[in-house]
């Protein structure tokens, strides 16, 4: 494990940021990857129920077999929604009063996530800017499907962390 200023990180553990000022030391740093996580049909069906998006390419495995992807795929927004879940395996923030998801600057879905695939997120710190009471942190996220040559989702997400 390496310790620098108020940052703690290792190749096998999440980077832990201690307080908002520590983010500034991370600009330009790739923090690593989450573990691989299975995306299954049950998860996709729950997302479809939550969002009302029951398009057959997601929820009808038999019909999807003859569709453009050869089987059912996860919703793009499900893939994006998994990013904060996996992010906690890569980045832990301590010594703050609160953190909020402030939005996205960019999101693209270059390749589908097939049912039964494993997905992970890679995280890099792109920008850190002072805001009243805290910092705004822009993270470059790359969601990868195991064995796929292209990422499934690339997103630039914005979080605000307050002291």
Q: Who contacts 49 (Cβ-Cβ below 8 Å, separation ≥6)?
A: none
Tell me the C-alpha distance between 74 and 40, whole Å.
8
- Which secondary structure element, helix H or strand E, spans residue 91, and what is its range? strand 91-94
Class of domain 2-40+86-162: alpha beta
pLDDT at site 2: 38
**Strand pairing category for 91-94 and 2-4:** unpaired
Question: What is the pLDDT at residue 97?
Answer: 97
Buried b (16+ CB within 10 A) or exposed e, 131-141: eeebbebbbbb
pLDDT of residue 109: 98
Helix axes 76-87, 41-51, angle to 10 degrees: 110
Report the pLDDT value the prediction gives residue 7, as an integer from 0 to 100: 44
> Which has the closest alpha carbon to 26: 36, 37, 16, 39?
16
Q: What would the pLDDT profile of 46-65 be if each residue is shown by its tens digit? A: 999 999 999 999 999 999 99
Question: For position 11, what pLDDT does the model report?
Answer: 42
**Could you read off the pLDDT of 66-116 as tens digits, one per residue?**
999 999 999 999 999 999 999 999 999 999 999 999 999 999 999 999 999
Mean pLDDT of the chain: 93
Q: For residue 7, how many other CB atoms are within 10 A of its CB?
A: 17
pTM of the shown model: 0.90
List, for residues 5-44, the tens digit of each pLDDT value.
444 443 457 999 999 999 999 999 999 999 999 999 999 9
Instruction: Look at residue 10 in the predicted model and tell me its pLDDT.
Output: 39
State the DSSP string of 102-144. EEEEEEE--S--BTTEEEEEEEEEEEEEEETTEEEEEEEEEEE
């Amino acid at each position: 494990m390496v310790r620098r200023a108020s940052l703690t990180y290792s190749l096998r553990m999440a980077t832990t940021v201690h307080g908002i000022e520590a983010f500034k030391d991370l600009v330009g740093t790739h923090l690593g990857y989450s573990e691989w996580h299975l995306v299954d049909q049950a998860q996709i069906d729950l997302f479809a129920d939550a969002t009302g998006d029951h398009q057959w390419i997601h929820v009808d495995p038999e019909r999807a077999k003859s569709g453009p992807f050869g089987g059912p795929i996860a919703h793009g927004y499900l893939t994006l929604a998994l990013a904060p879940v996996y992010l906690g395996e890569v980045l832990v923030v301590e010594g703050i009063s609160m953190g909020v998801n402030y939005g996205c600057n960019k999101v693209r879905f270059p390749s589908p996530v097939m049912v039964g695939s494993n997905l992970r997120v890679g995280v890099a710190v792109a920008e850190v800017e002072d805001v009243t009471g805290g910092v705004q942190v822009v993270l470059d996220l790359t969601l990868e499907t195991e064995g796929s040559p292209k990422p499934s989702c690339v997103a630039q997400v914005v979080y605000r962390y307050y002291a």
